[in-house]
Amino acid sequence: MMWLVFALLTGVAVMAVLLPLAMRGEASDAGAADIAFFEEQIAEIERERAEGRLDPAEAEAAKTEAARRLLRAEAAPKAKARGSRRAALAAALAAIVIVPAISLPLYLRLGKVDMPDMPLTARLESQPDRGDLAGAVARIEQHLRERPEDGRGFEVVAPYYLRTGRGEDAIDAYSKALKLLGATAERHANLGQARMIVAEGKVTPEARKDFEAALALDPANVMSAYYLGLGAEQAGEKDRAVEIFAKLEADAPADAAYLPAVKRRLAELRGENAQRPPFAQAPDQQESGQGLARGPVAEGPASAQGKAIAAMPADQRAAMIRGMVDNLAARLESSGDDVEGWLKLIRAYNVLAEPEKARKAVEDARKALAGREAEAARIEALAKELNIGG
């Protein structure tokens, strides 16, 4: 089918050359156009005079000048145009050979003949691939644009947003889920956590309101309590923080996964132990395991973000950086033609002293940038500089 269309188009192109060659007709000689022009000009002067736009004397002067030029044109030597069958035949042959000889090889090199059109709506309606998370999310988004009252859809995509660095979208989706499906402690807690991640680990007043709402609905919501404790700590309310963490510790079952983190916070707050626990190990009573490390994003203005990071306690900072690196890696996995991103990622792994990951990033970058020599060369140069051949 495709080739049929191509053949048809090629035929049209060739015919555009063949038809005029086949037509009969004499060419006017070279001077004819000039002579016609001056004759027309003289007629025009007559017309203008008849309409009264030129006065007779002016018209006479102009006509004399035009007539003089006309005579000169008529006296010019004429070369008679002549057609030659041989030339026409050669031209026809050239067209028949050259059009396909240029188009076909060039198209075979540049084009992708078997590749169908891929309009987005058709792709969204087609059968999804297994394991294509991005595709599934795109489909849900499409569905949500049509039925924005479907709270479950928002609840499903929100964690994905948070993981892929779309913090604002995650907040939006969690709030919609909350509004549409009704308030639960868990939904409030998740929304609060998303806000916190977007705020680069800071428990903002909005986030605090969410955690408090979660606790009002379910006083046993550990995540909210823990983050409120952190919030109190960040606000300098040490006693309140100790109170919250102590209560968490007292209420926790002995084998709770979050217990060590709580204990470390307490130890830190009471000044018993100088070593800070990793901020990222928030107690997580959910199975989905959305730790802070997976999420933090918010690419605000670089300097502001940089300042915020620098101002954090060391452990929080490490978690923050970790999160950003993971985030970058995730982004490059889905769209890998960003050479700056690859360079940044490789450097980051190098700084974090993770040679394995750095090497893998080099390999991935090579694959993603295959065929783009200038950019691939920059990756190679960096790999050499950092001594990670991969």
Partner 1 sequence: MIVEVGHYALILALALALLQFAIPFAGARLNDPALMRVARPTAISQFSFVALAYGALTYAHVVSDFSLVNVIENSHSLKPFIYKISGVWGNHEGSMLLWVLVLSLCGALIAIFSSAMPDKLRADALSVQGLLGAAFLLFILLTSNPFARVDQPPWEGRDLNPILQDPGLAIHPPLLYLGYVGFSIVFSFAAAALIGGRIDAAWARFARPWTLFAWVALTLGIAMGSYWAYYTLGWGGFWFWDPVENASLMPWIAGTALLHSAAVMEKREALKVWTIFLSILAFSLSLLGTFLVRSGVLTSVHAFASDPERGVFILGILVFFIGGALALFALRAGSLPVGGLFAPISREGALVVNNLLLSASCATVVIGTLYPLALEALTGEKISVGPPFFNTVLIPIALPLALLMPIGQMLAWKRGDLPAALARLRAAFAVGVLAAAALGARYGTPFLSIVSAGAAVYLIVGGLSDIAQRAAFRASSAGAVFTRLRGLALSAWGTSVSHAGMGLTLLGLAATGWGVENIVAMKPGDYYDVGPYKLGIEEISPRNGPNYSEIYAVMAVRSGGETIARIEPAKRFYQARKMQRSEAGVVTLGLGQVYAAIGESHEDGAIDARLYWKPFVTLIWIGALVMAFGGGLSLADRRLRIGVARRAQVAAMPEAAE
Helix (H, G, I), strand (E, B) or coil at 267: helix
In terms of CB distance, is 145 or 287 closer to partner 1?
145
Do the Cβ atoms of 199 and 299 come closer than 8 Å? no
Which of 155, 169, 186, 364 is the binder for partner 1 (CB under 8 A)? 169
In terms of CB distance, is 58 or 251 closer to partner 1?
58
Which of 75, 115, 310, 353 is the binder for partner 1 (CB under 8 A)? 115
386 binds partner 1 (CB under 8 A): no
68 binds partner 1 (CB under 8 A): no
Which of 71, 83, 220, 330 is the binder for partner 1 (CB under 8 A)? 83
- What is the Cα–Cα distance from 353 to 370, expressed in whole angstroms? 27
Interface stretch with partner 1, choices 134-142, 224-232, 238-246, 257-265 (CB under 8 A): 134-142
- What is the Cα–Cα distance from 356 to 303, expressed in whole angstroms? 30
Amino acid letter, residue 345: L
DSSP string of 301-333, one letter each residue: -HHHHHHHHHTS-HHHHHHHHHHHHHHHHHHHH
Interface stretch with partner 1, choices 99-107, 309-317, 341-349, 358-366 (CB under 8 A): 99-107
Binding to partner 1 by CB under 8 A, coded x per residue (else -) over 26-65, reads xxx-x-xxx-xxx-xx--xx--x--xxxxx-xxx-xx--x
- What is the Cα–Cα distance from 306 to 289, expressed in whole angstroms? 27
206 binds partner 1 (CB under 8 A): no
Which of 116, 182, 236, 289 is the binder for partner 1 (CB under 8 A)? 116
Do the Cβ atoms of 346 and 358 come closer than 8 Å? yes
222 binds partner 1 (CB under 8 A): no
In terms of CB distance, is 127 or 334 closer to partner 1?
334
In terms of CB distance, is 89 or 220 closer to partner 1?
89
In terms of CB distance, is 138 or 199 closer to partner 1?
138
CB of 216 to partner 1, least distance (A): 28
Do the Cβ atoms of 167 and 161 come closer than 8 Å? yes
Which of 46, 50, 123, 311 is the binder for partner 1 (CB under 8 A)? 123
CB of 72 to partner 1, least distance (A): 9
Do the Cβ atoms of 155 and 179 come closer than 8 Å? no
Which of 56, 112, 289, 353 is the binder for partner 1 (CB under 8 A)? 112
Q: Going by C-beta distance under 8 Å and a sequence separation of 6 or more, which residues neighbour residue 83?
A: 27
- What is the Cα–Cα distance from 166 to 156, expressed in whole angstroms? 14
Provide the token pair at 152. 């479950």
CB of 118 to partner 1, least distance (A): 4
Sign of the alpha-carbon dihedral angle for 193, 197, 200, 205: negative
SS3 content of the chain, % helix, strand, coil (to 5): 70, 0, 30
Interface stretch with partner 1, choices 74-82, 185-193, 222-230, 323-331 (CB under 8 A): 74-82
Site residues for partner 1, 257-316, by CB under 8 A, read 299
Provide the token pair at 187. 């939904």
Provide the token pair at 171. 């907040």
- Which among 190, 229, 230 is positioned nearest to 210, based on CA atoms? 190
Site residues for partner 1, 321-340, by CB under 8 A, read 334-335
228 binds partner 1 (CB under 8 A): no
71 binds partner 1 (CB under 8 A): no
